[in-house]
């Protein structure tokens, strides 16, 4: 048998049928849904008069448009309230498990899936959300889908999907102090551009990837979509297995050791062929920040904004438009630039490790008066853990208020909007125009860089705050 | 999913020669709170189309009466970012039936095909040529023939073949729906499940 990549092994074992010259019919093990991209799919089922085919394989949460304050009160915005209510009605009607608002297990879909033991190695996982790629950290094929595809999965537990090409990204070497998984993925995206992996599914390999915790790996896989990739995955190893072993329960697993034997097989064969292979050196990575309006427009924090996006040539109109929006000029340095808002949270950096990193910088210091900070845990569990580890207290003493979980300012569907023209250092995943509110200017960065900005009120190299 | 049939389309074009137009620009997140598929066209490119005060931004191409038609001619890496199908619904609801670019984001491409919005990929050079033709003469028409998989610039006679997955092409020509197809496979899906649980 010819050698196979891990991606091929998982994909091929989930093909119910291959259509000649067409997409594959792919079986889906886990389907996550939320309030924003599911209502039209349920409408479709209703119009056809059909049930959800396998309701036990779909799990729902409310996260995108919910408030992060006073969650016990009725949602003020009528349209958001209606969407959240529709989700509850649909879940009830079709027999789907809902971890909704005020449920102690509620949170961002890509944070609760792993922490509740729903995301398991070797699975196919989809959700009407592009950051579904997060779950690839567990050695799964996980990717975002549109609402028509949500309807397909609800109706048949399958999806029609052309098989993507395969890319291997290897990161070798040792990371410097103060460099996080967020810097790694922002570095890779800045090297290959926001569309550099379109059409591919990425496998991340190498010693620097292996050294990361599950939280760190989730941050890497999460942002695969920001370089255009369909998804990204990391083969499971002892770090994965020990994370899973510590969870209170694993859905559908009755005997851990039997499952473990299967999971250990989930590796690419040594001779497996990828359509493209890229190698990077972990030692070249510095704290990263974005200066433009797509995640490919990133640089080391102590660098200057490039003069052009076209090598040895005049900048494109898209590049100029992007810098104009940000209020920046080519060649400018960003260190020392004033910051108005800081946001830590989202499915990219809303896990306990991220809040620990942020706390490491702010402990014993005070938030700059000029900065408004949005501190938003990714889930109820993260919120609880912050309190029990004493982090909530550290945040409070430094002048920060911890909010309730949700997607919040990452996409600003709720009230957590950054005002027109203001600069926000955000640990989220997208710096698109208006992403955090109309006219908002987003600078993507790691939790450490966000914390340094929150303390100084300026773009600051976080290494100044990290003890050697 | 709506069942839309496409065969031949002849139309003038609307040029939008920007790269990396993401789905947050196509339809900002604050307009995603609806629970039906209709009406998103009103907010297509909302923050480029309207000033914060609600007035039309006269410089934006959709507000320029000189340009019109059912074909949007976009820049490279169109539809990147979020998986929101609302982006495709907004473009379709506004009246577009095809988008031409040199490069589409993967999820956008799937979403477009699932809603009868034809994504047509042509070379960077040809895309630039088409943008110039439209700027020079907004009356420039293109003809898209799905059966033959050809895109023709009617003023110059340039004609190019475009790629489309044969299964998707068949669906669009006949107005077929993926869900009908998958529902017809239920017994095969069930036997897949049974085999898997035995393995």
Q: What is the pLDDT of residues A137-156, one digit of tens each?
A: 999 999 999 999 999 999 99
User: What pLDDT score was predicted for residue B2?
Assistant: 59
Superfamily of domain B8-198 in CATH is Aconitase, domain 4 (3.20.19.10)
User: What pLDDT score was predicted for residue A283?
Assistant: 98
Q: Give the closest of A27, A53, A195 to B77, CB-based.
A: A195
> How far apart (Å, rounded) are the C-alpha atoms in residues B155 and B129?
12
A1 band by pLDDT with thresholds 50, 70 and 90: confident
User: What pLDDT score was predicted for residue A22?
Assistant: 86
The mean pLDDT of A201-210, rounded to a whole number, is 98
Sign of the dihedral through C-alpha B5, B10, B15, B18 = positive
CB A410 within 8 A of CB A430: yes
Contacts of A312 (CB under 8 A, 6+ apart): none
User: What pLDDT score was predicted for residue B1?
Assistant: 58
Does the distance separating the beta carbons of A149 and B105 come in below 8 Å? no
Chain B nearest CA to A232, separation (Å): 14
Chain A hits for B114, Cβ within 8 Å: 146, 148-149
Hunting for tokens 């961002």 — which residue is that? A108
User: What pLDDT score was predicted for residue A416?
Assistant: 97
Say yes or no: B132 contacts chain A, CB-CB below 8 A: no
Contacts of B109 (CB under 8 A, 6+ apart): B79, B119
With 80 as the cut, is the pLDDT of residue A33 above it? yes
Residues in a beta bridge with A390: none
* pLDDT digits 0-9 by tens, A88-143: 999 999 999 999 999 999 999 999 999 999 999 999 999 999 999 999 999 999 99
- Strand ranges in A235-340 using DSSP code E only, listed in sequence order: 276-281, 288-290, 298-300
Sign of the dihedral through C-alpha A400, A406, A409, A413 = negative
Q: Give the closest of A50, A156, A228 to B189, CB-based.
A: A156
Exposure on the CB side of residue B126, measured as CA atoms within 13 A: 19
Q: Which of residues 41-70 of B touch A (CB under 8 A)?
A: 47, 52
Q: Give the closest of B1, B22, B168 to A44, CB-based.
A: B1
> How far apart (Å, rounded) are the C-alpha atoms in residues A26 and B189?
10
Q: Give the closest of B37, B105, B165 to A228, CB-based.
A: B105
pTM: 0.97
> How far apart (Å, rounded) are the C-alpha atoms in residues A186 and A219?
10
User: What pLDDT score was predicted for residue A400?
Assistant: 97
A467 band by pLDDT with thresholds 50, 70 and 90: confident
Domain boundaries, chain B: 8-198
pLDDT tens track of chain B, all 199 residues? 557 788 999 999 999 999 999 999 999 999 999 999 999 999 999 999 999 899 999 999 999 999 999 999 999 999 999 999 999 999 999 999 999 999 999 999 999 999 999 999 999 999 999 999 999 999 999 999 999 999 999 999 999 999 999 999 999 999 888 999 999 999 999 999 999 876 6
User: What pLDDT score was predicted for residue A375?
Assistant: 98
User: What pLDDT score was predicted for residue A468?
Assistant: 60
Chain B nearest CA to A84, separation (Å): 10
Say yes or no: B121 contacts chain A, CB-CB below 8 A: no
Q: What is the DSSP string of A337-372?
A: -B--EEEE-HHHH-SHHHHHHHHHHHTTS---TT-E
Compute the C-alpha angle B29/B33/B36, nearest 5°.
120
Q: Give the closest of B32, B105, B115 to A148, CB-based.
A: B115
* pLDDT digits 0-9 by tens, A224-258: 999 999 999 999 999 999 999 999 999 999 999 99
Say yes or no: B131 contacts chain A, CB-CB below 8 A: no
Residue A59 structure tokens: 């799990």
CB A65 within 8 A of CB A84: yes
Chain A hits for B111, Cβ within 8 Å: 146, 148
Does the distance separating the beta carbons of A82 and B165 come in below 8 Å? no
Chain B hits for A38, Cβ within 8 Å: none
Chain B nearest CA to A75, separation (Å): 13
| CB-based burial label for A26 (10 Å; 0-12, 13-18, 19+) | buried
A70 band by pLDDT with thresholds 50, 70 and 90: very high
Q: Which residues of B154-191 are buried (b: 16+ CB within 10 A; e: fewer)?
A: beeeeeeebebbebbbebbeeeebbbebbbeeeeebee
> How far apart (Å, rounded) are the C-alpha atoms in residues A97 and A61?
9
- Strand ranges in A56-193 using DSSP code E only, listed in sequence order: 58-61, 97-99, 124-127, 141-144, 158-161, 165-172
Phi-psi category of A264—alpha, beta or left, where left has phi over 0 and alpha has psi -120 to 50? alpha
User: What pLDDT score was predicted for residue B185?
Assistant: 95
User: What pLDDT score was predicted for residue A267?
Assistant: 98
Q: What are phi and psi of A326, to 5 degrees?
A: -80, -15
Does the distance separating the beta carbons of B83 and A37 come in below 8 Å? yes
Best of B85, B86, B121, B186 to substitute, by most chain A Cβ atoms within 10 angstroms, is: B85
CB A190 within 8 A of CB A300: no
Say yes or no: B193 contacts chain A, CB-CB below 8 A: yes
Set out the domains of chain A in order of their start, with CATH numbers.
6-162+238-258 (3.30.499.10), 165-235+267-284 (3.40.1060.10), 290-465 (3.30.499.10)
**Number of residues written out for chain A:** 468
Chain B hits for A53, Cβ within 8 Å: 186, 189
> How far apart (Å, rounded) are the C-alpha atoms in residues B167 and B172?
9
The mean pLDDT of A396-406, rounded to a whole number, is 97
Exposure on the CB side of residue A328, measured as CA atoms within 13 A: 28
Across chain A, mean pLDDT equals 97
The mean pLDDT of A333-347, rounded to a whole number, is 98
Residues in a beta bridge with A144: A127
Q: Which residue on chain A is closest to B50 by alpha carbon?
A: A438
With 90 as the cut, is the pLDDT of residue A191 above it? yes
User: What pLDDT score was predicted for residue A268?
Assistant: 98
Q: Give the closest of A148, A155, A434 to B114, CB-based.
A: A148
């Amino acid at each position: 048998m010819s050698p196979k990549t891990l991606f091929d092994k998982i994909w091929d074992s989930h093909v119910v049928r291959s259509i000649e010259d067409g997409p594959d019919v792919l079986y889906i093990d886990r389907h996550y849904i939320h309030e924003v991209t599911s209502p039209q799919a349920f409408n479709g089922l209703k119009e056809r008069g059909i049930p959800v085919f396998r309701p036990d394989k779909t799990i729902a949460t409310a996260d995108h448009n919910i408030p992060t304050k006073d969650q016990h009160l009725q949602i003020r915005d009528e349209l958001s309230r209606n969407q959240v209510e529709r989700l509850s009605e649909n879940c009830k009607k079709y027999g789907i498990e809902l971890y909704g608002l005020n449920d102690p297990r509620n949170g961002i879909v890509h944070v609760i899936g792993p922490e509740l033991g729903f995301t398991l190695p070797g699975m196919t996982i989809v959700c009407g959300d592009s950051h579904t790629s997060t779950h690839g950290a567990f050695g799964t094929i996980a990717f975002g889908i549109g609402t028509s595809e949500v309807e397909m999965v609800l109706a048949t537990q399958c999806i029609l999907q052309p098989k993507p090409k395969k890319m291997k990204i290897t990161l070798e070497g040792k990371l410097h102090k103060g460099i996080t998984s967020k810097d790694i993925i922002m570095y890779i995206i800045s090297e290959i551009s926001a569309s550099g992996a379109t059409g591919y599914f990425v496998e991340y390999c190498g010693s620097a990837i292996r050294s990361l915790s599950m939280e760190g790996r989730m941050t890497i896989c999460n942002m695969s979509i920001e370089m255009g990739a369909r998804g990204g995955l990391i083969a499971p190893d002892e770090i994965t297995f020990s994370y899973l072993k510590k969870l209170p329960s694993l859905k559908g697993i009755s005997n851990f050791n039997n499952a473990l034997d299967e999971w250990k097989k989930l590796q690419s064969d040594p001779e497996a062929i990828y359509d493209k292979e890229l190698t990077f050196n972990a030692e070249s990575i510095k704290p990263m920040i974005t200066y433009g309006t797509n995640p490919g427009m990133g640089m080391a924090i102590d660098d200057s904004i490039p003069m052009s996006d076209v090598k040895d040539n005049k900048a494109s109109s898209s590049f100029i438009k992007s810098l104009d929006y940000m209020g920046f000029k080519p060649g400018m340095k960003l260190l020392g630039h004033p910051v108005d808002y800081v946001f830590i949270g989202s499915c990219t950096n809303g896990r306990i490790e991220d809040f620990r990193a942020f706390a490491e910088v702010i402990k014993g210091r005070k938030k700059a008066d000029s900065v408004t900070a949005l501190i938003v845990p990714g889930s109820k569990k993260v919120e609880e853990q912050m309190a029990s580890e004493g982090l909530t207290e550290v945040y409070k003493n430094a002048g920060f208020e911890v909010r309730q979980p949700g997607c919040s300012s990452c996409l600003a569907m709720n009230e957590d909007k950054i005002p027109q023209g203001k600069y926000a250092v955000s640990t989220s995943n997208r710096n698109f125009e208006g992403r955090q509110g109309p006219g908002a200017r987003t600078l993507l960065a790691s939790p450490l860089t966000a914390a340094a900005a929150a303390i100084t009120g300026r773009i600051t190299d976080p290494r100044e705050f990290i003890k050697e | 999913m709506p069942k839309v049939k496409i065969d031949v389309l002849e139309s003038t074009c609307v040029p939008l020669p920007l790269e990396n137009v993401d789905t947050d620009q196509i339809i900002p997140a604050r307009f995603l709170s609806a629970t039906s598929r209709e009406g998103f066209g009103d907010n297509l490119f909302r923050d480029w189309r309207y000033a914060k005060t609600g007035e039309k931004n006269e410089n934006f191409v959709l507000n320029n009466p000189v340009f019109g038609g059912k074909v949007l001619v976009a820049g490279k890496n169109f539809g990147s970012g979020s998986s929101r199908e609302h982006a495709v619904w907004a473009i379709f609801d506004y009246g577009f039936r095809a988008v031409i670019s040199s490069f589409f984001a993967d999820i956008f491409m799937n979403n477009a095909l699932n809603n009868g919005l034809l994504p047509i990929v042509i070379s960077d050079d040809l895309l630039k040529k088409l943008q110039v033709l439209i700027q020079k003469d907004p009356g420039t028409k293109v003809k898209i023939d799905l059966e033959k998989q050809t895109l023709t610039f009617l003023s110059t006679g340039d004609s190019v073949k475009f790629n489309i997955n044969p299964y998707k092409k068949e669906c669009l020509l006949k107005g077929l729906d993926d869900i009908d197809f998958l529902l017809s496979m239920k017994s095969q899906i069930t036997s897949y499940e049974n085999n898997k649980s035995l393995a």
